[in-house]
């Protein structure tokens, strides 16, 4: 079997990222936009020694999980990749992906793994857009640098959908070519820009530099180009879970970003330390958490060797990037052994790897919850609470 060959394939399950997985004479074949139970005619795009990637040529027998996508651009747009599957099946797939990652890592999980479900549509507060050459606003086409003009997007919150319609009307009205582009001064050379919508207001990169939103009754300020979760309703549930039942003398918020968790931990701990490598985000953390906390604008390697890291912490929250905990953080946790660790993850594979290290260091898993921040996509966000044996 080589690239360009075609064959019939049955999809067994979804894997991390959202592709369907089937097997051809023992070879794992990954197929985007497929569903468990699909019988497909596929063409190989890439064939390696231990896996292959393929594309759908024909849907021979449709999975019972399939639904009609809610967006006419689905499959062309590079955003959503699970809109062809019912939301109930998506949630079940996220659980399966999560459990499979821990099974492969050899880590025991409690009997119950809960899932906090979201609105399937109308949930997304933040999106990245592109300007087309004619000034229209669009998304990037799947597997391409080309731009698809869009008039609407069903996963966006209502104020962003209304704003998007206004942008489209402006760019299409007579004599207004390039109006959308000119209304966003300061855009990057590649013409990408971010829009954030909440509380019936839209902030737009190039026009607005900062965004202020409310989470759990607290105001948070951040740079519009910086990272912030894109589902505010789900974020409130995550914050409540991370901070629930935790109090004491001292807590640490590692990979703190703009200080989201630190702002809430401050209410139940005598002292909170927020550690963030990005200088700009650390500055916002100081503003969002307040002066009655400690801060370190430092990389993890430098911080774990600092005097601040030698203090005893009753609760340590980690919210690392997709690659998981830096090795120095795993070593520090194993050495300092805080009684409770709260791990917020955007990748179950790196989470399971780090969980294996923590368990071998004397921790057990007390609580697990999956948070469906991004319906219609293959992302899996979760929280795991580790307690020292």
Q: Convert the pLDDT of each residue in 23-36 to its tens digit.
A: 999 999 999 999 99
Q: Against a cut of 0.85, is the pTM above it?
A: yes
- HSE at residue 299, side-chain half, CA atoms within 13 A, is 5
Give the pLDDT band of residue 169 (cuts 50, 70, 90): low
The per-residue pLDDT for 117 is 95
The answer to whether residue 174 scores a pLDDT higher than 90 is: no
The answer to whether residue 184 scores a pLDDT higher than 50 is: no
Q: How far apart are CA 240 and CA 236, in angstroms?
A: 6
Contacts 24+ apart (CB under 8 A), 47-52: 47/1, 47/2, 47/3, 47/5, 51/27, 52/1, 52/24, 52/27, 52/28
**Higher-confidence position of 289 and 134:** 289
**DSSP codes of every residue in 195-258:** EEEETTEEEEBTTBSEEEEEETTEEEEEETTS---S-HHHHHHHHHHHHTT--EEEEEEES-TT
Q: What are phi and psi of 387, to 5 degrees?
A: -120, 140
CATH among 3.30.420.40, 3.40.50.620, 3.40.50.150, 3.90.1150.170 for 89-119+231-388: 3.40.50.150
Residue with tokens 């942008």: 167
Alpha helices in 290-321 (DSSP H): 300-304
The yes-or-no answer to whether 6-66 and 89-119+231-388 have a common fold is no
The per-residue pLDDT for 144 is 86
The answer to whether residue 168 scores a pLDDT higher than 70 is: no
Using alpha carbons only, give the angle 229, 208, 73 rounded to the nearest 5 degrees. 55
User: Using CA of residue 64, residue 70, residue 72, residue 77, what is the dihedral sign?
Assistant: negative
What superfamily does domain 6-66 belong to in CATH? Nucleic acid-binding proteins (2.40.50.140)
> Would you kindly state where each structural domain of the chain is located, as residue ranges?
6-66, 89-119+231-388, 126-215
What angle do helix axes 87-105 and 348-360 make, rounded to 10 degrees? Answer: 40
The per-residue pLDDT for 157 is 97
For the chain, give the percent of residues with pLDDT over 70: 94
Q: How far apart are CA 278 and CA 236, in angstroms?
A: 24
Residue 110's Cα: distance from chain center in Å? 24
Mean pLDDT over each residue of the chain, to the nearest integer = 92
């Amino acid at each position: 079997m080589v690239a360009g060959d075609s064959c019939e394939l049955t999809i067994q399950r979804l894997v991390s990222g959202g592709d369907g997985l089937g097997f051809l004479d023992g070879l794992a074949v990954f197929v985007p936009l497929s569903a468990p139970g699909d019988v497909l005619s596929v063409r190989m795009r890439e064939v390696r020694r231990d896996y292959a990637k393929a594309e759908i040529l024909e849907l021979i027998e449709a999975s019972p999980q399939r639904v009609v996508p809610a967006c006419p651009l689905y499959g062309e747009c590079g955003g959503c990749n699970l809109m062809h599957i019912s939301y109930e099946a998506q949630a079940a797939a996220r659980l399966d992906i999560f459990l499979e990652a821990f099974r492969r890592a050899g880590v025991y999980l409690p009997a119950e793994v809960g899932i906090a479900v979201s609105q399937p549509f109308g949930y997304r507060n933040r999106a990245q857009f592109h300007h087309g050459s004619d000034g229209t606003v669009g998304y990037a086409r799947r597997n391409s640098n080309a731009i698809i003009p869009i008039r609407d997007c069903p996963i966006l919150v209502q104020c962003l959908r209304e704003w998007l319609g206004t942008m489209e009307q402006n760019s299409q009205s007579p004599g207004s070519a390039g109006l959308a582009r000119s209304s966003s001064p300061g855009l990057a050379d590649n013409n990408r820009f971010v829009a954030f919508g909440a509380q019936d207001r839209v902030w737009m990169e190039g026009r607005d530099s900062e965004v202020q939103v409310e989470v759990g009754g607290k105001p948070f300020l951040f740079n519009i180009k910086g990272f912030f979760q894109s589902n505010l309703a789900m974020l409130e549930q995550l914050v409540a879970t991370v901070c629930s039942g935790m109090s004491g003398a001292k807590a640490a918020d590692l990979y703190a970003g703009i200080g989201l968790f630190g702002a809430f931990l401050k209410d139940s701990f005598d002292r909170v330390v927020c550690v963030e490598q990005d200088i700009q985000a650390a500055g916002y953390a100081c503003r969002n958490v307040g002066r009655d906390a400690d801060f370190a604008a430092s990389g993890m390697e430098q911080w774990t060797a600092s005097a601040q890291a030698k203090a005893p912490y009753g609760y340590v929250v980690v919210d690392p990037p997709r690659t998981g905990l830096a090795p120095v953080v795993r070593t520090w946790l194993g050495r300092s052994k805080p009684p409770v660790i709260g791990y917020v993850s955007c990748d179950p594979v790196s989470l399971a790897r780090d969980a294996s290290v923590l368990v071998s260091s004397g921790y057990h898993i007390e609580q697990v919850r999956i948070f469906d921040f991004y319906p219609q996509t293959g992302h899996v966000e979760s929280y795991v609470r580790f307690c020292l044996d």
